[in-house]
Structure 1
Amino acid sequence: MTVQAPTRPSVVVDGVRKSFTLNHAFSLKDTVVSWIRRKRLTSSFRALDDVNVVINEGESVALLGLNGSGKSTLLKLVSGVMSPDGGQVLTRGRVAGLIEVGAGFHPELTGRENVFLNAAILGMQRKEIEERYEEIVEFSEIEEFIDQEVKHYSSGMFMRLAFSVAIHVELDVLLVDEILSVGDAPFREKCRQKFEELIAQRKTLVVVSHDAEMVQKLCTRGVVLRRGKVVFDGPISEALGYLE
């Protein structure tokens, strides 16, 4: 008789709330006019409202919803880029996030220098980075430009290098936010295959994407957000149907 290992949560989002302040005056003139007319200069926008999600080790989950539904905000909270106003976000193990193209890269440094910088930010030791450096650069397919300052890189080159660094970290949870849309088709397919390798290794994958075909191939579960609230959490096929 085979005994299955107990399920362990990788990500716990417990009663999370997050609000942002919206500025309605963008110049001195706007400010003065609004003050004279007694109009409010700012307002509060609730991006997430009492969100509860548990993602277990080895799950591949898509965060779905229309623009402004709170998907990217939730991913940033899980990554630790932002903190919730209420509730808590707990993660287990090393989290690597591809939240924004080129995030963590210094424009005045070369691609080579940024590999070491970004990998260190993600928790890799220098010896570990040195051992994986060639593999990282080879996967990115930008060897010819690796010693150029990244301020001269296109968004696609940024994405390739950032993705390559992130997936070569010894990670437990990988967070991806729509950035693969800037890559060409062959590289997107290469990335999808790498995702499948990570899933086979029982790494936890959380993806924000509008690409229904990709998330259906990669993810078994979908969490649908609408105006900052979870309105569906279940099988990916039903989650995608919920958006139609």
Structure 2
Amino acid sequence: MPEIAVKVDNVSMKYTLMSGRINSLKDLFIQALNRKITYEEFSALTNVSFDIAKGEVFGIVGLNGAGKSTLLKIVAGILKPTTGNVVRNGSLVPLIELGGGFNGELTGVENIYLNGMLLGYSKKFIKEKIDEIIEFAELDKFINTPLKNYSSGMKARLGFSIATLVKPDILIVDEVLSVGDHKFKEKSEQKMKSMMGSGTTVLFVSHSIEQMKNMCDRVLWLEHGLVKELGPATEVCDKYKLN
């Protein structure tokens, strides 16, 4: 039996949605007074279960709104499921919202320290690795400029460079390989492959089905928050393309 890195057990996620058209706080207040606000329950995920073996590259496919990002955030510990449990064995780095902890008023260098420390790196470790981060992100000319002047691609490159600085036991990747220009996409994909080849367990979402087929061992197909299929990457991806 292979060692389990991630176990998702009967996970469901429900949200309460407010119905009706509300354009301002005033509208909300008036409708609340008149008891015209109604609520409905939306199920983003329903009874999702799977295991990921240590060192496995595990993909998730599905249309927009299928529940992919919600599931990744639950596995990463960013969201708490309504019901069910997730067990993670080892250190985890989520490449989900790159630069989510950045501050636009601070420079690139200052944000490296801020984001790195949020990921659990020590100040000493970041100082030792800062040149490596800047070089990989290709931002040496802009690194002392406030982040509010960066493009979204520049921020994503910096976030990717910080997050992949160390080799975690578990890496969660959500569309990260689509950031930046063609050259950086190739470089970030090579970085990902080297991490995969060194035993890191990867949970991976991409809109590129060919990328999923090439990089994943197994793939989970989500549809309307339900598991439609789970199996070998090529088999599930081919069925998904025909859907």
Deviates more, 1:210-219 or 1:55-64: 210-219
Give the whole-Å Cα distance in 2 for the aligned partners of 1:174 and 1:59. 11
Which 4+ stretches in 1 moved above 6 angstroms?
A: none
The 8 Å contact of residues 124 and 169 in structure 1, kept in 2 or not, is answered as no
Give the whole-Å Cα distance in 1 for the aligned partners of 2:75 and 2:231. 20
The 8 Å contact of residues 157 and 179 in structure 2, kept in 1 or not, is answered as no
How far residue 31 of structure 1 moved from its aligned partner, in angstroms, is: 6.8
Pairing 1:236–2:233 present: yes
| 1:34-49 alignment runs, 5 A limit | 40-49=37-46
Pairing 1:79–2:79 present: no
The letter for the 2-side match of 1:195 is M
Cα deviation per residue 1:202-231 (whole Å; 9 max; x = unaligned)?
101111111112222211211111111111
Give the whole-Å Cα distance in 1 for the aligned partners of 2:22 and 2:107. 35
TM-score (norm 1): 0.91
Give the whole-Å Cα distance in 1 for the aligned partners of 2:101 and 2:8. 25
Structure 2 equivalent of residue 20 of structure 1: 15
| 1:157-172 alignment runs, 5 A limit | 157-172=154-169
Give the whole-Å Cα distance in 2 for the aligned partners of 1:26 and 1:181. 35
How far residue 180 of structure 1 moved from its aligned partner, in angstroms, is: 2.9
The counterpart of 1:151, out of the listed 128, 137, 148, is: 148
| 1:171-182 alignment runs, 5 A limit | 171-182=168-179
Cα deviation per residue 1:92-145 (whole Å; 9 max; x = unaligned)?
211111112321112221111111111111121222222211111111011111
Give the whole-Å Cα distance in 1 for the aligned partners of 2:151 and 2:17. 31
Q: How many residue pairs get matched?
A: 238
Cα deviation per residue 1:155-182 (whole Å; 9 max; x = unaligned)?
1001100001111124111111113323
Pairing 1:202–2:196 present: no
The counterpart of 2:116, out of the listed 100, 115, 119, is: 119
The 8 Å contact of residues 167 and 200 in structure 2, kept in 1 or not, is answered as no
Identity of aligned residues (%): 41
Cα deviation per residue 1:21-61 (whole Å; 9 max; x = unaligned)?
2233322447746986x755332211111110111110111
Give the whole-Å Cα distance in 2 for the aligned partners of 1:103 and 1:177. 13
Structure 2 equivalent of residue 218 of structure 1: 215
The Cα RMSD (Å) is: 1.8
Deviates more, 1:39-48 or 1:189-198: 39-48
Structure 2: gaps of 5 or more residues: none
The 8 Å contact of residues 16 and 86 in structure 1, kept in 2 or not, is answered as yes
The 8 Å contact of residues 212 and 237 in structure 2, kept in 1 or not, is answered as no
The 8 Å contact of residues 101 and 155 in structure 1, kept in 2 or not, is answered as no
The 8 Å contact of residues 13 and 82 in structure 2, kept in 1 or not, is answered as yes
